[in-house]
Structures are given as C-alpha cells and as structure tokens.
Amino acid sequence: MAASSDSVEKITGALEESLSGLGFEVHPLKVGWYNAVLPPSLALSYPDDTLAVVVFSTPSMFEKAFLPFLEGQAFQGVSDPIDQCVRQTVSSCFPGQQVEVIYDYELMPSRRPRFLAQTAAHVSGGAFYYQQSDIIEPPWTDRKMFGVCVHPRFGGWFAIRALLVFADVRGGSDMLQPLPVDCVPSREGRIKLLEAFNLHWQDWSYRDIVPPVETYSQRQRDYFSCPPSERFALLRSWDLIKDTQQACVYVCV
C-alpha cells in the first residue's frame, strides 16, 4: 500500500514508542535511497519507494534492555547475548505486519553482510558515514582506511543493529530524504577520526570525535573491552548467567 508521510510517522512512531525507552533509536528511509549509492549486486530486492527503518542502539541500551534481558533469564546460550537481546526486543514490535528484519551480524552465503549498516545509517540521516573519499587529498597512500559513522549526539558511542523492511508499505512523494548532520566538517578532523578508528580503535578515542551527550557506562565498557571468549565468565561473575547456561559470545559493539 502507498503510505503518506502521516502513515510513515505512525509506523515509526509506534516503533519509537516501543524501543526508545529501551535505549534504541529508529530512522526511516526508502529502499531506493539505499540502493542508489550501491552497486546492483548489493541492492535490496524491493521497489525503490519501499519503507525501511534502521535501528540504532544508544549507550543506555545496555542498562535498559540488555541487563534486564539477562536478569530475566531470557538468554538461551546458543548465540551472542547482545544479538539475542536485540532480536527479541525488535521482533516484538510489529505483530501482524509483513516485515523483513535484517540484523547487523547476518551474512549472505558469499560472506558479505546482508545489508551495509553504515550506508543505511547515512542515507536515513541518522548518522554521517565518514570515508576516505570524504577527505580532500587523503594522506594515506599505502593503506585502505575503513570508514565509520558518527552520531550527532552520541559521537561514536552507538551501534547500528538492524534494518526493518516493510515490504507492503510505500513511502509517498512527500517522504523526503534527510541529510545526516556533518559533525566532522574539517579535513583535519576527518583525518583524525579515520586514523583513530583504524589505528587506535582499542582506546575508543574515535568515539569522542564530537562531545557526546552520553557514553557507555563503566560496566558496559568492561563488557565490550573483555575478549569475546571471556565475556561469558564476566557475565557469570556479575551473576547474570547461571552455570547451567552455555554461551557462545562473539565480537559485538
């Protein structure tokens, strides 16, 4: 069905009502905005005006959603607990609707991600995706520098978790593409950002490239700083996972 901007706002408003209190943000987009900046091999197989929504986790998600998820013993011990928490939380938001949910950790048989999370974040206007191509005369001639998204309020203290595609909803002509906020407008700032992200990512300094309104709590930093193979033991030491539960904890930010 074709949807007016009011209808799109109802859908995104319902998602926001369900998710914002748990530390998530939602940003709507048209599939065509995403496909327009990618080669056909990476395009989503939907009409250009199909409504999609990209879901971010903000710093408060850890305390508002993840820890209660573990405390409620909802963790099943067969995959990463953060991924399980996000999947359970997001999938409960649209009963009865035809929605394809693509999570950030999902891969195609070719081992490519099922969607390019940072591209989706950029075209939705939710975060600016800074790449080497955004720098005039980049100083690196001998290496590829990977890009990174910066949120206008949280800097690098957020994560892109999922893309929801509402297969039977069409955004109308009054649904206009927003531009992401250019938080790092200078060449020097962009060089500093990409070098911090690519060369010193362990110290997390790239996340503070703009002053954030909120960052990860110390407990959350402890969790994500912990080697993946040791995260189960850490959660058990916090009495959030029982000895009878088995975990397979992967890299997650």
pLDDT digits (tens, 9 = 90+) for 49-61: 999 999 999 999 9
Share of the chain above pLDDT 90, in %: 76
Confirm if 28 and 4 have CB atoms less than 8 A apart.
no
Residue 165 lies in a domain: yes
Say yes or no to pLDDT of 74 above 70. Answer: no
pLDDT band at 9 (very low <50, low <70, confident <90, very high): confident
Does 246 fall in a domain?
Answer: no
Q: What's the number of domains the chain is made of?
A: 1
Higher pLDDT, 34 or 96: 34
Q: Are 226 and 218 in contact (CB under 8 A)?
A: no
Whether 161 shows a pLDDT value over 50: the answer reads yes
Domain membership of residue 52 (yes or no) is yes
Determine the Cα angle at 26 with ends 198 and 175, to 5°: 110
> Is 249 inside any structural domain?
no
What number of other Cβ atoms are within 10 A of residue 99's Cβ?
20
State the pLDDT at residue 78. Answer: 60
Residue of 73, 10, 30, 23 lying closest to 165 (CA atoms): 30
Q: What single-letter DSSP state applies at residue 179?
A: P
Candidate from 117-121, 201-205, 220-224, 248-252 with smallest mean pLDDT: 248-252
Burial pattern 128-149, b for ≥16 Cβ within 10 A else e, equals: bbbbbebbeeeeeeeeebebbb
**159 has which bridge partners?**
57
Query: Residue 77 has what pLDDT?
Result: 66
Give the per-residue pLDDT at 8.
Answer: 84
pTM of the predicted model, to two decimals?
A: 0.91
pLDDT at 31 over 80: yes
Host domain of residue 136: 2-238
Q: Which residue has the tokens 């408003």?
A: 13
**Mean pLDDT, the chain, integer:** 91
Do residues 65 and 234 make contact, with C-beta atoms less than 8 angstroms apart? no
Instruction: Indicate the DSSP class of residue 180.
Output: P
Residue 224 lies in a domain: yes
